[in-house]
Structure 1
Amino acid sequence: MNLFRALAVVLALTLGLSAVPAQASDAISNTSSGDPIYSTNSPPFYKMLGDLIIARPLLLGATVIGTAAFIVSLPFTALGGNVKEAGQALVVDPGKATFVRCLGCTESGYKQD
């Protein structure tokens, strides 16, 4: 792959990740039980489809790129003493958004006490 194609792929991934809109709606409005601790987030099919086709592949790419960046920056972060923060920001957060979020949901992870 020549330099122009590689640059075009990186630019497309960057623009794609920045174009994913942040969901600002409150998840409590979709609650069936009314309990704020246990909320059933049941997004419509178009959000699930968009998440499956667009967001998950982009988030998987961000997780892979973040992992590579973490490995490259590991000697410097070890010297600076912030390995945990770098790992959280570059690997764990994108991984949670990719693998631990329900399809079409806006929040990552499980709600636990």
Structure 2
Amino acid sequence: MKRYKKAFLLILISAMIAGSIYPNALAWDRWKKDDPITDQWNTIDLMVARPLGVVAAIAGLGIFSVSLPFTITVDIFSRIEDKPSNAVKDSAKMFMLNPLKFSFTREFPDENM
């Protein structure tokens, strides 16, 4: 009798665990498909965040132009000291390339937004 009791408890516990996992997965799948909040975030991403990335790249172009004499000077002095630093390349990447990548190379329904 004890052997059947242990087997029954093992099957019961297994069924309870399996039954508690499946509804959560089903609920997550339905939430991801037809969630109006996710659609609103996608709209905000498309209509606000991506154009702001382009505006940031244009502003970054101005900042890069103003800082260009200083970064060229840093590059020249670093090459004289045999410790080359790519200050111009790094500042161009930071001020212009990163905002453009944010705007144009991300997947559209961005899961991280």
Name the counterpart of 1:48.
42
Larger-Rg structure: 2
| Pairing partner for 1:74 from 60, 65, 68 | 68
SS of the residue 2:107 aligns to: coil
Question: 1:18-39 deviations in whole A, cap 9, x for unaligned?
Answer: xxxxxxxxxxxxxxxxxxxxxx
Name the counterpart of 2:92.
87
Structure with greater proportional helix content: 2
State the distance in 2 between where 1:74 and 1:106 align: 36
RMSD of Structure 2 on Structure 1 (CA): 1.6
Q: Give the unaligned 5+ runs of structure 2.
A: 1-37, 76-86
Structure-2-length-normalised TM-score: 0.51
State the distance in 1 between where 2:111 and 2:61 align: 23
Structure possessing the higher relative contact order (Cα contacts under 8 Å, 6 or more residues apart): 2
Structure-1-length-normalised TM-score: 0.51
SS of the residue 2:43 aligns to: helix
Equivalent pairs, count: 64
Report how far residue 106 of structure 1 moved: 5.5
4+ residue segments displaced more than 4 Å:
none
Identity across matched positions, percent: 33
State the distance in 1 between where 2:109 and 2:55 align: 18
Name the counterpart of 1:58.
52
